[in-house]
């Protein structure tokens, strides 16, 4: 019985975020900077596992690593040549936004991300 309740709760929590599968576009802005950097993600959600690719545009895409969806919380990482991007986002309706940590081999910065689902 407890197991069943736990499964139902887990499903309900996951349902909060809805299905993230699809194309998401938007931008991030590094804290203190005055310009937005474009972002495009092609996501695939399977339960609480999130896979797909992301990058600045269609032609430059990097694989999503360690993607997880827990309730409305969406977390994943993406590595380009120099930088590693760690996303900690919240999904609501057709929007995902939250924090981004950027780490190179000698620098660390933070940014704010905002994505909307392409129709």
Partner 1 sequence: MVILGVTGSILEFEPELDRSLHSQLSYVTPVGRVLSLREIGDVASRRFNGEPVVAYLLSTSPDLSWQVVLPSGIVYVNQYTGEVLGLRPRGQTFLGYVRALHVRLANGTFGRNILKWSGVTMLLSLASGLYLWWPMKQIRIRGRWSNRQLWFDLHNAIGIFLLLPLAMLAATGTAIGFEDQLAPLIYKLTRSTPIHTTRGPVREPAPGATLITPDEAVAIARIQIPGAVPYRVQMPKYGGLYVVALRYPQDRITGGANQVGLDHYGKVVSLSRASDLSSGDRILAMIEAIHTGDVWGMPSRIVVWVASTMVLVQAFSGLLMWLYRSRIVPTPAPSTAESGL
Contacting residues toward partner 1, per CB under 8 A: 30-34, 55, 59-63, 65, 77, 79-82, 84, 103-108
Q: Please, which residue, 14 or 112, has the CB nearer to partner 1?
A: 112
CA distance 115 to 100: 12
Q: Please, which residue, 63 or 71, has the CB nearer to partner 1?
A: 63
Closest separation between CB of residue 109 and partner 1, Å? 8
Q: Please, which residue, 48 or 86, has the CB nearer to partner 1?
A: 86
Cβ burial, residue 34 (10 Å; 0-12/13-18/19+)? exposed
Rounded CA Rg of the chain = 15
């Amino acid at each position: 019985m407890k197991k069943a309740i736990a499964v139902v709760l887990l499903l309900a929590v996951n349902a909060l975020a809805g299905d993230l599968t699809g194309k998401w576009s938007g931008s991030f802005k590094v804290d203190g900077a005055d310009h937005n950097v474009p972002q495009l993600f092609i996501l695939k959600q399977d339960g609480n596992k999130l896979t797909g690719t992301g990058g600045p545009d269609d032609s430059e895409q990097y694989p999503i690593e360690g993607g997880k969806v827990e309730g409305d919380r969406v977390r994943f990482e993406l590595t380009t040549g120099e930088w590693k991007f760690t996303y900690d986002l919240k999904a609501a309706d057709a929007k995902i936004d939250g924090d981004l940590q950027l780490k190179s081999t000698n620098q660390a910065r933070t940014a704010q991300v905002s994505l909307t689902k392409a129709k």
